[in-house]
Amino acid sequence: MSWIFLLIAGLAEIGSVISLKKANGFTKWFPSIACLCFGSLSFYFLSLSLKTLPIGPAYAIWTAIGSVGSVLFGMVFFQESRDRKRIALIICILIGAIGVKLTSGH
């Protein structure tokens, strides 16, 4: 169940970052409230996952889900760069997070 909590936390982190972009420096109410709600959900589910998962791999995977998901979302919905170098670096983030998990012994 902890891995599911971690996945939910990562997805909520993506929602928080997207809402933060839309909040325009917290000048728009709905996206600002959404950002705070998604952020709170993200930390809540991360805290649940940390009851049984080691902090290193859990944090690496949580940040990888959030960062890779946010970059991909930006590429698809905000017309951000889809440069090959950028995609290669996203793959590096994924490899790093998977590597931390594989070497954790958990």
Q: What is the pLDDT of residues 30-67, one digit of tens each?
A: 999 999 999 999 999 999 999 999 999 999 999 999 99
pLDDT for 104 beyond 90: no
pTM over 0.95: no
**What domain range includes position 8?**
2-102
Cα–Cα dist 26/18, whole Å? 12
Nearest one of 42, 76, 74 to 61, comparing CA atoms:
42
* Contacting residues for 21 by C-beta, under 8 A, at least 6 apart: 31, 78
> What's the pLDDT score for residue 106?
64
pLDDT for 96 beyond 70: yes
pLDDT band for 105, please (50, 70, 90 cuts): confident
Tally the domains of the chain: 1
Cα–Cα dist 98/90, whole Å? 13
